[in-house]
């Protein structure tokens, strides 16, 4: 089966959630999934569930926490670079059927690595591998390179009325 490169971007909620949904669907079909999270370093509820119940999905984080309100540190850059090296190995070795690069667009936006570096790695994907990339601020070259691009658009969000993130819903 032909694998494609999917890109979920935009300012709306749901990019990571959609990627986890695809990972769950793939696991249900007997596929092995590698889920790389850039920037993020917290164990969210979906990761806890995967670690407990779905051994065919492997999640690794290449972030030290959420620095989005501040500039990334040298340690943040090193964590993302380490993740990019790992992702390159995962893609070229072809052990996984689906590879998800969560928040890769944010990593590019904050200059943790470049879209050119990522595209060079993506060009080496095995024919049958499906790759999903998520994050706000997708670059034009990444949009052009992807086979499928979905933009999540925020119309209304209860965060704007002061609702805090809720365990089991937002994290």
Closest to 50 measured CA to CA, from 82, 24, 83: 24
Total domain count, the chain: 1
CATH number of the domain bearing residue 30: 3.40.50.300
Cβ-Cβ contacts under 8 Å for 49 (sequence gap 6 or more): none
- Whether 167 is covered by a domain: the verdict is no
- Per-residue model confidence (pLDDT) at position 42: 85
- Per-residue model confidence (pLDDT) at position 168: 87
Q: Which domain holds residue 15?
A: 5-161
| Long-range CB contact pairs, 70-73, < 8 A, 24+ | 71/110, 72/110, 72/111, 72/112
Instruction: State pTM to two decimals.
Output: 0.94
Q: Which residues of the chain have pLDDT under 50?
A: none
- Whether 115 is covered by a domain: the verdict is yes
- Per-residue model confidence (pLDDT) at position 160: 86
| Cβ proximity of 62 and 82 under 8 Å | yes
CA distance 83 to 41: 12
CA distance 33 to 58: 6
- Per-residue model confidence (pLDDT) at position 85: 98
Write phi, then psi, for 141 (nearest 5 degrees): -70, -35
Q: For strands 148-151 and 5-9, give the pairing.
A: parallel
């Amino acid at each position: 089966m032909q694998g494609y490169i999917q890109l979920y971007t935009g300012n709306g909620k749901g990019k990571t959630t959609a990627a986890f949904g695809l990972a769950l669907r793939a696991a249900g079909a007997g596929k092995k999934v590698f889920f790389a999270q850039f920037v993020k370093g917290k164990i969210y509820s979906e990761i806890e569930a995967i670690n407990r119940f779905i051994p065919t999905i492997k999640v690794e984080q290449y972030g030290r926490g959420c620095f989005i309100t501040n500039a990334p540190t040298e340690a943040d850059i090193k964590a993302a670079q380490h993740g990019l090296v790992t992702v390159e190995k995962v893609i070229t070795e072809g052990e996984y059927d689906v590879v998800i690069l969560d928040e890769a667009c944010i990593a590019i936006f904050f200059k943790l690595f470049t879209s050119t570096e990522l595209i060079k790695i993506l060009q080496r994907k095995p024919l049958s591998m499906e790759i999903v990339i998520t994050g706000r601020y997708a670059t034009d070259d990444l949009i052009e390179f992807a086979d499928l691009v979905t933009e999540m658009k925020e119309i209304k969000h209860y965060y704007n009325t002061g609702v805090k993130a809720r365990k089991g819903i937002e994290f």
